[in-house]
Structure 1
Amino acid sequence: MTNVAELKFPASIPVPEISLSLHRDQVSGLNLYILVKDFHLGPPELAVKGRRPTGQGNLYINGKKVRRLYGAYQHLSEGLFKPGVNLVMVSLCDHDQRPCKRNGVHIQASCFLNLDTEELVLHSFSSSPTH
């Protein structure tokens, strides 16, 4: 496995922020909403140079990378989850797969959830550094 360089944000620009919201879908699975600030989620071919930082999210479920994310809304099928407690995590990176960091801290958000309980989300966390 190669060591990928990190994407560092200079102090002159706002640090991207990320948080997650998960809800049960009315038909099946879950709906994930990724709220990002000062970062544009989108595919490489639509990246606009010189605007705010642009890239993608990487979705991990229970430590396994599931897919790249180019938008804020995602449907997650039931088959991605195990019974009981699960961890959903999204990290931000550029299109060269360099993780977004400020002061050595990855910019990512996660939720612990339990599909077997009425209250779905047990705990949410965001490592978005403050400016």
Structure 2
Amino acid sequence: MNTGLPLLVIGLILGGGIGFTIAAANGITLDGHDHSAHGVAGHGDMDHDTVLSLPASATAPSLAVTVIQDPMAGYNLHILTENFTFSPENASLSHVEGQGHAHVYINGVKLGRFYGPWVHLDHLPEGEVTVEVTLNANDHRPLAVEQAPLRASVTIQN
């Protein structure tokens, strides 16, 4: 009896299972993000949930957004900030006042992390679309001023 094919299938199943187990044990996820670099359980020093509230002052950051239809396709999101510098070179490092990045959400689903004031949006869902932006510190904590989140949104009809 030829046992080559059944052994191949068994090997693939066991190998895949062992591979996934090793990857999970080392903090590797299917999205390619390596959690082991900053602690598997809670992202170590990167707290995506705890808000960093800054005092209200003349140097406190501010945020506004506009969305403009692109003549070719999609939309162009303009992230307007004051007293804030996009700092990709410091991503995932310690908080530095006035630095960080933006998170962009489409209908409540995170599109990604962005390090500049312009983002091209395409392949948006049909109908009413809410585009929301938050400002985040280098260490990924959402920023706020006097407990008011630095968050801005606009709703468009696609």
Q: Could you say which structure has the higher helix fraction?
A: 2
Residue 55 of structure 2 contacts residue 146 of structure 2 at CA under 8 Å; is this kept in 1?
no
Larger RCO (CA under 8 A, 6+ residues apart): 1
2:10 matched residue in structure 1? none
Partner amino acid for 1:62?
N
TM alignment of 1:77-96, pairs within 5 A: 77=122, 79=123, 81-96=124-139
Q: Is 1:24 equivalent to 2:69 in the alignment?
A: yes
2:141 matched residue in structure 1? 98
Residue 40 of structure 1 contacts residue 52 of structure 1 at CA under 8 Å; is this kept in 2?
no
Q: Could you say which structure has the higher strand fraction?
A: 1
Task: Quote the offset at 1:90 in angstroms.
Answer: 0.3
Structure 2 CA distance, aligned partners of 1:73 and 1:40? 13
Structure 2 CA distance, aligned partners of 1:61 and 1:111? 10
Task: Quote the offset at 1:82 in angstroms.
Answer: 1.4
Residue 76 of structure 2 contacts residue 118 of structure 2 at CA under 8 Å; is this kept in 1?
yes
Structure-2-length-normalised TM-score: 0.62
Alpha-carbon distance change, 106 to 11 in structure 1, aligned in 2, over 3 angstroms: closer
Report the RMSD for the aligned CA atoms in angstroms. Answer: 2.5
2:84 matched residue in structure 1? 39
Task: Structure 1: give runs of 5+ residues left out of the alignment.
Answer: 116-131
Task: Quote the offset at 1:96 in angstroms.
Answer: 1.1
State the SS of the aligned residue for 2:72: coil
Aligned length: 111
Structure 2 CA distance, aligned partners of 1:45 and 1:53? 12
2:153 matched residue in structure 1? 110
State the SS of the aligned residue for 1:44: helix
Task: Quote the offset at 1:12 in angstroms.
Answer: 5.0
1:121 matched residue in structure 2? none
Structure-1-length-normalised TM-score: 0.74
Structure 2 CA distance, aligned partners of 1:13 and 1:98? 21
Structure 2 CA distance, aligned partners of 1:37 and 1:12? 12
Q: Is 1:73 equivalent to 2:129 in the alignment?
A: no
Q: Deviations over 1:21-54 (max 9, x none)?
A: 11111111111111100111230348xx9x8510
1:9 matched residue in structure 2? 54
